């Protein structure tokens, strides 16, 4: 399975269990390395703050951590930098800029500076546009059969998929929300076991 196909699976609501093990392992490896190479995050400070704000609207903190707590923004930055083509990357960054354009037009402020209810209003508009685009594809002359069509070049569709991917492949998101273990712990059979006091058994 191609890496982009894996992201589209999650964006369309498919379960993580549908992803091949190597893809899940790749996502887990990204999580494990977050913060180790900050230069690999494609976002500047303002873009990063915008990603955090929108992702937290999609998966807010409740009795479990939200998107910000599991560093979905950093995960997303790595994916956009390393997995996206140049064209896809430019489209995604343009989508972030469009959030500010929408917020400026509606509320005369950038998205990150808008009030929570104003940000939620923009999120609602993005969702409606995504659904309208999907409906238009479904009603096209050739039509679609089976699963719902995926909007093409829709920023919010991609952003939502990355948010879900980043959250539910994190240790916290998977174990606390899905209550499953993604990858069993590593076992080294040749390493001598030790007692709590440090003596070999």
pLDDT at residue number 15:
56
**47 pLDDT above the threshold of 90:** yes
The per-residue pLDDT of the chain, averaged, comes to 77
Supply the pLDDT for residue 194. Answer: 41
Name the residue with higher pLDDT: 50 or 139: 50
Q: Is residue 185 part of a domain?
A: no
pLDDT value, residue 199? 46
Please state which of the ranges 3-17, 65-79, 94-108, 179-193 shows the lowest mean pLDDT. Answer: 179-193
Q: Which two tokens stand for residue 135?
A: 């409906």
Q: What is the pLDDT of residue 1?
A: 47
Element (H, E) at 12: none
In a domain, 187, yes or no: no
> Does residue 200 form part of some domain?
no
When divided into structural domains, the chain yields a total of: 1
pLDDT tens across 172-191, in order? 776 665 555 444 333 333 43
Q: Is there a domain that residue 102 lies in? A: yes
Q: How far is CA 177 from CA 33, 106, 125, in A?
A: 22, 35, 27
Domain limits at 123? Answer: 3-178
Q: Which residue has the tokens 């990355």?
A: 162
Of residues 109 and 17, more confidently modeled: 109
Domain assignment present for residue 40? The answer is yes
Q: Determine, yes or no, domain membership for 194.
A: no
Rounded Cα distance between 129 and 57, Å, is: 17
Whether the CB-CB separation of 105 and 87 falls below 8 Å is answered with no
Compute the distance between CA of residue 109 and CA of residue 88 in angstroms, rounded to an integer: 27
| Backbone phi and psi for residue 194, each to the nearest 5 degrees, phi listed first | -130, 150
CB atoms within 10 A of CB 144: 13
72-96 pLDDT, tens digit each: 999 999 989 888 889 989 999 999 9
Distance CA 9, CA 18 (A): 8
In a domain, 57, yes or no: yes
pTM: 0.74
Whether residue 127 lies inside any domain: the answer is yes
């Amino acid at each position: 399975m191609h890496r982009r196909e894996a992201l589209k699976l999650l964006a369309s609501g498919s379960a993580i269990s549908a992803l091949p093990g190597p893809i899940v392992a790749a996502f887990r490896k990204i999580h494990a390395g977050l913060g180790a190479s900050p230069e690999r995050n494609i976002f500047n400070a303002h873009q990063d703050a915008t990603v955090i704000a929108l992702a937290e609207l999609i998966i807010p903190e409740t009795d479990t951590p939200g998107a910000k707590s599991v560093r979905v923004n950093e995960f997303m930055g790595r994916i956009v930098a390393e997995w996206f083509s140049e064209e896809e990357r430019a489209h995604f960054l343009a989508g972030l800029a469009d959030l500010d354009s929408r917020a400026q037009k509606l509320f005369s402020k950038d998205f990150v500076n808008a009030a929570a209810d104003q940000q939620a209003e923009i999120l609602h508009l993005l969702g409606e546009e995504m659904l309208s685009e999907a409906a238009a594809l479904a009603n096209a002359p050739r039509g679609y059969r089976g699963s719902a069509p995926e909007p093409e070049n829709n920023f919010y569709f991609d952003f939502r998929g990355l948010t879900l991917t980043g959250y539910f492949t994190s240790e916290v998101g998977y174990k606390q929300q899905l209550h499953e273990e993604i990858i069993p712990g590593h076992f080294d059979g040749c390493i001598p076991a030790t007692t709590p006091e440090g003596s070999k058994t």
